[in-house]
């Protein structure tokens, strides 16, 4: 499952970020280590002074149609594998994320 519940008010999403890519884009879900699911994302920003993390937040906010202030990198700030917390109603967020990414099956459900 790609999405995990984060308390009563939000979700967590594991992201594999590739900085200095040719374009800002979401490559889609992929298998991560230990049979986890993650979202592969590419940004043009370099991994310097938090620029790649800021570009990640901007891209996810735009794609998921939610305010940038509702997204936060909570783990892996200096790693390529990050955990992003998304504040809001979990069911609404899951529906928006699934629609934006074209998810179905287990990836569209909250774990």
84 touches 13 (CB < 8 A): yes
Give tens-digit pLDDT for 10-49. Answer: 999 999 999 999 999 999 999 988 888 999 999 999 999 9
The CA-based diameter of the chain, rounded to the nearest angstrom, is 37
Taken in order of first residue, the domains within the chain and their CATH numbers are 3-103 (3.30.1200.10)
pLDDT of residue 7: 82
Give tens-digit pLDDT for 54-87. Answer: 999 999 999 999 999 999 999 999 999 999 999 9
Q: What is the pTM of this model?
A: 0.94
- Cα distance between residue 26 and residue 24, in whole Å: 7
């Amino acid at each position: 499952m790609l999405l995990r519940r984060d308390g009563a008010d939000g979700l967590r999403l594991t992201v594999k970020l590739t900085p200095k890519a040719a374009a800002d884009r979401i490559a889609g879900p992929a298998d991560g280590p230990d049979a986890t699911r993650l979202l592969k994302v590419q940004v043009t920003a370099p991994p310097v002074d938090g620029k790649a993390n800021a570009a990640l937040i901007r891209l996810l906010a735009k794609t998921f149609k939610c305010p940038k202030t509702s997204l936060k990198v909570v783990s892996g700030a200096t790693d390529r594998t990050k955990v992003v917390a998304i504040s809001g109603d979990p069911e609404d967020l899951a529906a928006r994320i699934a629609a934006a990414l074209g998810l179905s099956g287990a990836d569209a459900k909250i774990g």
